[in-house]
Amino acid sequence: MDLSIAAFQVGHVSPGLRLVHEQNGRKICIDKPSCKDEARIGQKNKITRRWARRGTRPSAPRDLRTASAYIFGAICPAQGKAVGLILPWCNTEAMNLQLAAISAKVTPGRHAALLLDQAGWHTTPQLTVPSNISIVPLPAKCPELNAQENVWQSLRGNWLSNRVFASARDIVNHCCDAWNKLIDRPWTIMSIGLRD
């Protein structure tokens, strides 16, 4: 059975789940799967819902310029931890940087399982996967199975939408602030990631 399908029952990762993954001919037991994805944040931002007095129509700024940055993020819902990079591009090189950052944060002697969608830069043979990480691909066209998608929704809804960014540097600064606010709230990571 496909590990990514076995890892999900009723659309969420079970906290007691133990994945057994085979890498280089040896079985590795993973008890805390992590989720990883990337999000584009830019000047052409989405408008989200806002609270307003009944009968009024609140204004929401909108920009048509196209500068952007990418947040590469990974969460471990069981421990409430996250690792992220803000980069100007989204490709194999950026993915390798993210894997190196995740690998550096994995507890020595432990092994991380990253649940990923099947984007080209996640599945390319040019990817350098550290020895303490296993990539577990999610089924195609199933973004709802990746808890990291909910993190993006939360970041956009709380800290990154309904604003006009002055420049590419401003986008990066706001992305850094939003990501740092998220990692300062491990209970939020756990709630979003475990879908409690």
* 162-171: pLDDT as tens digits: 888 889 899 9
Tell whether pTM > 0.85: no
d(CA 22, CA 29): 9
Q: How close are the terminal C-alpha atoms of the chain, in Å?
A: 26
* 108-155: pLDDT as tens digits: 888 888 889 888 888 899 999 999 998 888 888 888 888 899 999 999
Residue type, 23: Q
Q: Of 5-14, 88-97, 143-152, where does the model show the most confidence?
A: 88-97
pLDDT at 190 over 60: yes
Which domains occur in the chain, in start order? Answer: 3-46+64-194 (3.30.420.10)
CA 126, 130, 131, 136 torsion-angle sign: negative
| Residue-wise DSSP of 145-188 | G-THHHHHHHHIIIIISS---SSHHHHHHHHHHHHHHHHT-HHH
